[in-house]
Chains A and B, each alone.
Chain A
Amino acid sequence: MNYTLLNFIILIYIGLIALMGYLGYRRTQSAGDYIVAGGDVNPFVMALSYGAAFISTSAIIGFGGAAGAFGMGLLWLTFFTIFVGVFIAFVFFGKRTRTMGNNLGAMTFPELMAKRYQSSFIHIFCGALIFVFMPLYAGAVLIGAARFLETALNMNYLTALIVFTVLIAIYVTTGGIKGVMYSDALQGSIMFLGMAFLLIYTYNKLGGIAEAHTALSGMESLIPQKLKAIGHQGWTRMPVFGSKLWWVLISTLVMGVGIGTLAQPQLAVKFMTVKSGRSLNRACLVGGVFIFAMTGVAFLVGALSNVHFFNTEAKIAVAAAGGNMDTIIPLFITTAMPQWFSYVFMVTLLAAGVSTLSNLFHAMGTALGKDLYEQTAGKRKGASKHTILFVRVGIVVGILVSLFLGYQLPISIIARATAMFFGIAAAAFLPMYMLGIYWRGTTRAGAIAGMVTGTFSALFWLVFIKAAEAGPLGICNAIFGKPFLIETHPWPVVDPILIGLPVSLIVTILVSLFTRRSEQSHIDHCFEGI
């Protein structure tokens, strides 16, 4: 290991991040600056910030590793992340969110929903949901970074986890969202260059694009019996239609994350940080290219790593990684790439992890400070001056809980934990959010009913029906004496998003049709300029 080179690369990286945090800190004067960056962020910064917040170590390490095990079917998620996560999000959600956010003076996603529907219950419920469930996603992102540090530096996993967490804690508590967005833009640029090199080097190493794909197709006979039994047909083929693996791939990984991205509070808040619709148009261009370079490369390289491991160790990727999908990408980088690149890639991953986590911790902090504290105890006269203090307390608590989860969660968990959070967020928030910015007739009662039924139907599905989660949780077993309630295929492998989201959407529409609308003047105010 070349410690001089490694230390040099890390020092440059930390120096740049510290500079970005400092610039953000210098330009943060008010709560508005701290939370939505005063609403005047440059579109390039916004797009890279959105992209860097969206794409984390979870996408690169977790989902890249899933592609190593399940194959190129993950490319459907690349399509969803670009088409839904960028194009639909920016063009159909971004502008309306920005305008309505401005009209209502909202600073967080829960606040936007609460003001649209004039409901403090929505404010508190959204804030609580974010504060309780987001650590699951943050924990998964932490694992991704720590697994890489563990593999690349031969470091103890717990030490890697703590070192990485401390790095994030240093600047996220100081700079507010401006610091977060500046460093995100820098991290996004590092990530883009790192991933571009990774793709070119991988194809080159494996003899070219067509040669690499052909070699991977020729490995079908090496699929383990366990994976074959659930529908695996090869790394360049989709699983058998309707098989267990097909449902996991399509409903959990592709739909859960691909659609769930629309209702991510830490991403929706980015729309409220730009000054015009024009900025969002420009950001769409940058974002589309960026996400393509991130998820496309991670999933292709993940699948292709099988060829490398077969050529060098006569093993498939998941076997070379000791059965842990989460270490496939770290192992591939450290064994297949030049040493200098594994150090640079480590910085790329640190960048990806830091940028997403800082946004998640920022969202958790504002959930506690602005959404929960201000709406409850903070309503007392004079107490609102403590908001930023509570935001910071929320960040620290979020960091500690995520650190705990990062240590406790089992192996091969990153993609699943991410999809779980995305699914819950989609079921709870998406219908209320989408209808709230498009349909004037959505009522407060409709939004509350949809949000609550969406949340609880998704949670019910996780705890009592979906085998992968219900089994380990053990609640179903304790109550009914069996690990999950329905054993008929495909229900135990259907993701909660396919249940919670339609239920929530139907309930929101039906209840809205039969309940009283808000005052016309309020609706006009919300939709002014839309």
Chain B
Amino acid sequence: MFGLEDWSIILAYLLSALSAVLCIVYGAINWNKD
């Protein structure tokens, strides 16, 4: 994927992106909640 072959590097790449998405989703859903 994207020229990468080692699954653990791909996983780190994906988990980093997913964690950023998690922060975005959490922040957006709870934007007005205390």
* A residues neighboring B (CB under 8 Å): 72-73, 75-76, 78-79, 82-83, 86-87, 90-91, 209-214, 216-217, 236-238, 276-278, 281-289, 291-292, 296
Extra 13 A-B pairs, beta carbons < 8 Å, given A73-B8, A217-B5, A287-B23 = A72-B9, A75-B16, A79-B12, A87-B22, A87-B23, A90-B23, A212-B3, A213-B2, A216-B3, A236-B9, A285-B26, A288-B23, A291-B20
CA distance A283 to B23 in the complex (A): 9
Q: How many A-B residue pairs have CB under 8 A?
A: 102
User: B33 and A278: CB pair below 8 A?
Assistant: yes
User: A284 and B26: CB pair below 8 A?
Assistant: yes
CA distance A289 to B19 in the complex (A): 9
Assuming A213-B4, A217-B5, A282-B27, is B33 touching A73 (CB within 8 A)? Answer: no
Range, interface on chain B: 20 to 34
- Contact code string B1-34 (vs A, CB < 8 Å = 1, else 0): 0111110110011011101111110111011111
Assuming A75-B12, A82-B16, A289-B23, is B3 touching A278 (CB within 8 A)? Answer: no
User: A87 and B19: CB pair below 8 A?
Assistant: yes
* B residues neighboring A (CB under 8 Å): 2-6, 8-9, 12-13, 15-17, 19-24, 26-28, 30-34
CA distance A281 to B29 in the complex (A): 9
Interface pairs (11), CB distance under 8 Å: A75-B12, A75-B13, A79-B16, A82-B19, A210-B2, A210-B3, A211-B3, A213-B2, A217-B4, A278-B30, A289-B20
User: B16 and A281: CB pair below 8 A?
Assistant: no
Assuming A72-B12, A83-B19, A296-B16, is B27 touching A286 (CB within 8 A)? Answer: yes
Assuming A281-B27, A281-B31, A282-B31, is B9 touching A238 (CB within 8 A)? Answer: yes
A281 interface neighbour in B9, B12, B20, B26, Cβ under 8 Å: B26
Shortest Cβ distance from B25 into A: residue: A285
Shortest Cβ distance from B13 into A: residue: A75
User: B2 and A76: CB pair below 8 A?
Assistant: no
User: B26 and A91: CB pair below 8 A?
Assistant: yes
User: B20 and A288: CB pair below 8 A?
Assistant: yes
User: A83 and B24: CB pair below 8 A?
Assistant: no
CA distance A72 to B26 in the complex (A): 28
